[in-house]
Each structure stands twice: as structure tokens, then as C-alpha cells.
Amino acid sequence: MSKVHLTANFTAKAGQADQVEKEFLAVVPTVRQEQGCLRYDLHRDSREGNDFLFYEIWASPEALKAHGQSAHMNAMRERVKDLVEGPAQLAFWNAVDRVDG
């Protein structure tokens, strides 16, 4: 199995960034406990503060698929759907050089 590295970017609608951050932070501990989750880090743009980025590493494509279909992720997407500018923008990456392999 090969690891999956990805980023998921969201942009909060005007005036909604703090609520979006709250909703995202609420799901992070649960996601980190999912089988196959190797890394799940949330970042917020330091300039405007409306852009959010999740940096994720999953043990396998199957683990990522299960994550995307989980009840807690479906609930989180429902809670933020009117707070963000559209769905997440996903980008998949190949690890070229990593400190932890």
C-alpha cells in the first residue's frame, strides 16, 4: 500500500472565518483517531485569515476513502457548507523528500 499525501483548501465567506475554524477544530481529534490517519494538520492563512488548509497523510487510498465517507466528516461538511466558498480544493502530492520517511 502506498501512502496518500494531500492538501485540502477552503475559503471562508466574509465574516465566517472564526466559525469555520471552530467547526474544523472540533473534528480534528476524531479524525486523528481514524484508522490509517498518519497526519492531519489544520492551518489558517496568516494574512487575511479566511483561507484554511488541511495537510493530510493517509496510510492508504482505502483509509482516505473511509475518512471521506465517515459520519463525522459528513456532519462537518454539512455544518460548514453555508460558511465556505464552495467545496474543498484538493491537491494530491508525491513525497519527494521527507524527514520521517
Q: The domain spanning residue 82 has which CATH number?
A: 3.30.70.100
Tell me, yes or no, whether 51 lies in a domain. Answer: yes
Sorting pLDDT into bands at 50, 70 and 90, what band is 78?
very high
Tell me, yes or no, whether 47 lies in a domain. Answer: yes
Tell me, yes or no, whether 35 lies in a domain. Answer: yes
pLDDT digits (tens, 9 = 90+) for 46-72: 988 999 999 999 999 999 999 999 999
In angstroms, what CA-CA distances link 57 with 17, 92, 97, 100? 24, 10, 14, 12
Domain tally for the chain?
A: 1
How many other β-carbons are positioned within 10 Å of the β-carbon of residue 15?
A: 9
- Structural domain of residue 64, as residue ranges? 4-93
Tell me, yes or no, whether 101 lies in a domain. Answer: no
Average pLDDT estimate for 23-45: 98
Tell me, yes or no, whether 9 lies in a domain. Answer: yes
Tell me, yes or no, whether 100 lies in a domain. Answer: no
Which residue, chain included where needed, has cell 477544530?
Answer: 25
Tell me, yes or no, whether 98 lies in a domain. Answer: no
Tell me, yes or no, whether 62 lies in a domain. Answer: yes
